[in-house]
Chain A
Amino acid sequence: MITAVVYSESGGTFKTTMTANLAVALERMGARTLVIDLDPQEGNLTSLFDVGTSRSDPDADNLVKHILDMPDGEFDDLIETTNEGVDIIPSHDMLGDFTSNLEQKISYETGMKNMNRDEYPRFELLYDLLWNEHELNQRYDAILVDPNARAEDLLYNAIYALRTLIAPVKPAGKGNLSLDGLEELVGNMETQLDIEIGLSCVVPSGVGQTNAHQQYQQQFDDTDAFSTPVTIGNRESLMDAMWEARGSAFKVVEERWKTFKRDGEMVSEPGQRRLRDREIETLEKLFELAHFVATETFDADVDSVLELEVQDHDNRRIELMDKEQTEATP
Chain B
Amino acid sequence: MNNFKSGSGNLDFGAEGDEKDTQESEEVVEESESRTTESPPEQVQSSGTTSSQNPGTAGDPDRETNQGSNEAAEYPYFVRRNNVGDERDTRLEIHVRDSVAEQEGRFRSRLADELDVSEVSKTDAREFALLAAYEYPEKVAELMEDEGFSVI
Contact = CB atoms under 8 A, between A and B. Distances in A.
A257 B16 CA distance: 47
B-side binding surface: helix, strand, loop or mixed? loop
Given A196-B22, A196-B23, A298-B57, A183 B3 contact: yes
Interface string A194-212: 1111111000000000000
A199 B5 CA distance: 6
A186 B4 contact: yes
B9 A197 contact: yes
Nearest to B63: A299
Contact of B9 (A183, A184, A187, A198): A198
B7 A183 contact: no
Interface string B15-28: 01001111100000
A137 B11 CA distance: 11
A132 B16 contact: yes
B57 A299 contact: yes
A164 B56 CA distance: 12
Contact of B8 (A131, A137, A225, A298): A298
A197 B3 contact: yes
B11 A183 contact: no
B96 interface: no
A226 B5 CA distance: 8
Interface string B58-88: 1110000000000000000000000000000
A213 B11 CA distance: 36
B4 A195 contact: no
B49 to A, nearest CB: 11
A197 B6 CA distance: 9
A36 to B, nearest CB: 15
Interface residues of A, number: 36
B22 A183 contact: no
Interface residues of B, number: 27
A128 B20 CA distance: 13
Contacts of A195: 9-10, 19-20, 22-23
For the residues of A in contact with B, the DSSP-based class is mixed
A1 B9 CA distance: 12
Given A198-B9, A299-B56, A190 B3 contact: yes
Contacts of B8: 3, 163-164, 198, 200, 297-298
A133 to B, nearest CB: 9
A220 interface: no
B112 to A, nearest CB: 15
Interface string A219-233: 000000111000000
B100 interface: no
A101 interface: no
B20 A199 contact: no
A196 B5 contact: yes
A42 B88 CA distance: 45
Given A225-B1, A299-B56, A299-B57, A198 B13 contact: no
B20 A193 contact: yes
A238 to B, nearest CB: 29
B72 to A, nearest CB: 22
Contact of B10 (A163, A298, A299): A163
B103 interface: no
Interface of A: 1-3, 127-128, 131-132, 135, 137, 162-165, 179, 183-184, 186-187, 190, 193-200, 225-227, 295-300
Interface of B: 1-11, 13-14, 16, 19-23, 50, 52, 54, 56-60
